[in-house]
Amino acid sequence: ALGKTLLDFSRFDDAFICGPSAMMDDAEAALRELGVPEKAIHLERFNTPGTSVKRATGVQAEGRTVTIRQDGRDRLIALSAEDDSILDAALRQGADLPFACKGGVCATCKCKVVQGEVAMAANYSLEADEVAAGYVLSCQALPKSGDVVVDFDARGMA
């Protein structure tokens, strides 16, 4: 209520939110209610070791295969019941892929889906236009279709 009185939110180009998760969720909801466009709201979330990560709901990936493209080479990996993501399966099978938080926060594991369809359990770092362009977080992604190819060499969006 005080913000409506003191600030003209229609004049904001961007809003940046960082802090405890519940506060960030409340601040984001308040900004949306005040008419700030979704693309103008930027969140910076942090993850700590031991933070639980939700698996993509409704996706049965066991037995599916994914082609990982990295450094100009393709590598076929198979997902098992123990894998929570494409990244987990690839690391378990000896791939040397970039990652840091494994919580959907840092985007170090960002790659582009060039074939097939995947589902992400969480996404705290990719912008809507990146997702629309096919980028996913491999630490949060599971294949929804057969013949999935993800490209770690893909460049373009920051």
Q: State the 10-residue block means of pLDDT for the chain, 158 residues long.
A: 75 85 85 88 70 54 91 95 92 95 91 96 92 96 93 79
Q: How many CA atoms are closer than 13 Å to the CA of 42, on its beta-carbon side? A: 6
Read off φ and ψ for residue 119, nearest 5 degrees. -120, 140
pLDDT (0 to 100) of residue 48 = 53
CATH number for the domain whose boundaries are 65-151:
3.10.20.30
pLDDT for residue 63: 85
| Chain centroid, CA 157 distance in Å | 14
The Cα diameter of the chain in Å comes to: 57
**Cα gap 67→30, rounded to integer Å:** 41
pLDDT of residue 81: 85
Q: What is the pLDDT of residue 52?
A: 47
- In the prediction, which pLDDT does 55 show? 52
- Report whether 128 contacts 38 (CB < 8 A): yes
pLDDT at 57 (0 to 100): 46
CA dihedral 113→102→152→38, nearest 10 degrees, is 50
* All CATH 3.10.20.30 domain ranges in the chain, comma separated: 65-151
- In this prediction the pTM is 0.69
Alpha carbons 73 and 95: distance in angstroms, whole number: 12
pLDDT of residue 128: 92
